[in-house]
Amino acid sequence: MKERRDSLRVLVAAAQSGDQHALMEIVRRFDPLIKKVKRKMIFQEREDLEQEIVEKLIRVILAYDINVPADFTSFRKCIREFVREAVEIRCPSPEETCP
């Protein structure tokens, strides 16, 4: 797990330096989470949601302060929190279910 965390840190640093391949690798690593969330949405909203999540993910990657001596899981938590919020915006209450 530590290797994966360190690897993600290296990828974020590379992406922040302009490495597009590193940026796309990070997006690829979060793809299972994106797909999981998409399955919960109605069909018509899936592509919009995916695009919204990827755009936010890229913004978070580029803005994340990698020099802060914190557990790098805060980066993952930030992404997961955004995904949760995106779903809540589209399905604001438990009565409004998204298939």
pLDDT reported for residue 86: 67
Q: What is the mean pLDDT of the chain?
A: 76
Neighbours of 16 (CB within 10 A): 16
Question: Can you say how many angstroms the Cα of residue 15 is from the centroid of all Cα atoms in its chain?
Answer: 14
| Identity of residue 28 | R
| Model confidence pTM above 0.85 | no
Ramachandran assignment for 18, one of left (phi > 0), alpha (psi -120 to 50 degrees), beta (any other): left
* Domain spans of the chain, in order of start: 2-90
pLDDT digits (tens, 9 = 90+) for 12-54: 999 999 999 999 999 999 889 888 877 777 777 777 778 888 8
What is the Cα–Cα distance from 37 to 87, expressed in whole angstroms? 8
Protein fold of 2-90: Rna Polymerase Sigma Factor; Chain: A (1.10.1740)
